[in-house]
Amino acid sequence: MPLSVDARNVLRSFTCAGAGLEDDLTGDEKNHTLDFLPGGAPGPEDPDRVGMVIASRWGNGPYLVLAENVPLRQAWEAITARWPSTIVPGIARDSSATTRSISSSVGRGRP
């Protein structure tokens, strides 16, 4: 996750139309976004790349790693096709999804 707030804010992430996703995974009462790292979800004209999907508090930690080593365009398309409002339905059908919590300092400063 980029260290700069400005750099985090330009990443293409899933926000459920700006409402955020309810955390039904850990029970945290704060809403989250689904972030695609590195670099955000690829746009339609961008080349696909492999990375991870995380849930964050609008770019801030703690981070929940939901899937690793996945094609980010495929992950984006699967998530936006379901339009989940909670974290679990956002990852439930992805058999490669692994969930673990990492501290907010892990990955900071790396684009």
Q: What is the pLDDT of residues 11-64, one digit of tens each?
A: 888 888 788 888 887 887 888 989 999 999 999 899 999 999 999 888 888 888
- Residue 107 placed within a domain: no
- Residue 65 placed within a domain: yes
- Residue 21 placed within a domain: yes
For all residues of the chain together, what is the average pLDDT? 78
- Residue 110 placed within a domain: no
Largest Cα–Cα separation, the chain: 37
What total number of domains does the chain contain? Answer: 1
**CA gyration radius, the chain:** 13
Closest CA relative to residue 87, chosen from 9, 13, 10, 26: 26
Q: 38 is in which domain, residue-wise?
A: 5-102
- Residue 108 placed within a domain: no
pTM: 0.74
Rounded Cα–Cα distance for residues 54 and 34 (Å):
6
Q: What is the pLDDT of residue 49?
A: 93
